[in-house]
Structure 1
Amino acid sequence: MNPTIRIEEVNKDNWYECCQLSVSTAQAEYMESNAISIAQSKFEESLKPYAIYYEEAVVGFLMFNSVLEELDGYWIYRIMIDENYQGKGIGKQATQLMLDEIRNLRQANKVVVGYHPENTEAHRLYASLGFVDQGDRFGKEMAVVLHI
C-alpha cells in the first residue's frame, strides 16, 4: 500500500511541527526557516503556507503566493522536506498537490520558482516536474517556469 501524502494549510494544530522540521546543513544555506516563512505569511496575506503530511506525520512545508508576480506567474516561495524523510518522493508529490491548488487560482497559466543555481536537489525536483530555465535571474537565484 502506498503511503498517503497530503498538504494542509498551516494552522494552530500544525504550525509548531512545521517549525521543528530541518534540512541538511548543506541545504540550510539555501532557504529561510519555516518559522520565518510562517511569520512572513501573517504579514503578506497572499502567501499560502502548507504543512506536508506523510501518513499522519508533518514532514515538510511549502508556501506559494496566490497573486501574480514577476514573469506574470504564481511563485512558489518554499518547499522543504525534513532531512529524515528525503529521498522518498514526498517532495515531488507534495509539489504536484501544490500545483493543483495553484491551478484553481485566477489566471493560472504559469508557475515560477526561484532557487540558488547550486541547489542540485531543487534543480532535479523542478526539472522532473517540467519546469524550464528560460534564463531569468533574480539576484543570486535562477527562476524556472512551468506553463500550466
Structure 2
Amino acid sequence: MNTENVKIVELNAKNWYDCCELEVSTEQKEYIEPNAISIAQSKFEHTLKPYVIYFEEKVVGFLMYNSIPEELDGYWVYRIMVDKEYQGKGIGKEATRLMMKEMAKLPNAKKIVVGYHPENLGAHSLYSSLGFMDQGDRFGKEMAVIKHIND
C-alpha cells in the first residue's frame, strides 16, 4: 500500500460524522474511547487538536493531540486510531509521522508523549517503531512513552 496517499486534515463540518462511524477491532475497543467522545472532548478542551486521517481521499482514522505541554514536560498525543478495515497497512504509522511534524512546530516542543495500556500490543509496536522510549513513567493503568523531537 502506498502511504504517500495518507494525509491528516483538521476535523471540520464535512468530515466529523464520517470519523464518528469508524471502528477499531473488537480486541482494541477496551483500550480506546469512541471517536465521538474524543470529538466532544475537543469542543470543551480547546487546546486539543483533532484531525481526521485520510487515505486516498477516504476518511479512515482519527488522531488528536494537546497543543500545550503537560506531564513530563511534553506535548501529549491523546488519540490515534485507524478503522479496523485499514489497519496493518502503514496508514497509522504515516499519520503519526505527519502528526509529529505538526507537533514539532509547537512552542518549545522538545518531547512528544503518549500513554497507552501496556497490553495494547498494536500501540506498543507503532510507538516503538517510531522511536518512542519507555522510561518507566506510569499514569494509572497506562504507561507513557516519550519521543524527543530532535531524535
Question: Normalized against structure 2, the TM-score is what?
Answer: 0.97
* d(CA) in 2 for partners of 1:110, 1:124: 19
Q: Is 1:131 aligned with 2:145?
A: no
For this pair of structures, how many residues does the alignment match? 148
Corresponding residue for 2:60? 59
Structure 1 runs of 4+ aligned residues shifted over 4 Å read none
* d(CA) in 2 for partners of 1:64, 1:39: 14
Unmatched 5+ stretches in structure 1: none
CA offset digits 1:15-69 (Å, max 9, x no partner): 0000000001100000011000000000000000000000110000000000000
Report deviation, 1:13. 0.2
Corresponding residue for 1:113? 114
Corresponding residue for 1:35? 36
Q: Is 1:144 aligned with 2:141?
A: no
CA RMSD of the aligned region, Å? 0.9
**Paired residue type of 1:90:** I
Corresponding residue for 2:78? 77
Corresponding residue for 2:12? 11
* d(CA) in 2 for partners of 1:39, 1:9: 15
Report deviation, 1:73. 0.1
Q: Identical aligned pairs, as a percentage? A: 70
* d(CA) in 1 for partners of 2:134, 2:147: 9
Question: Normalized against structure 1, the TM-score is what?
Answer: 0.98
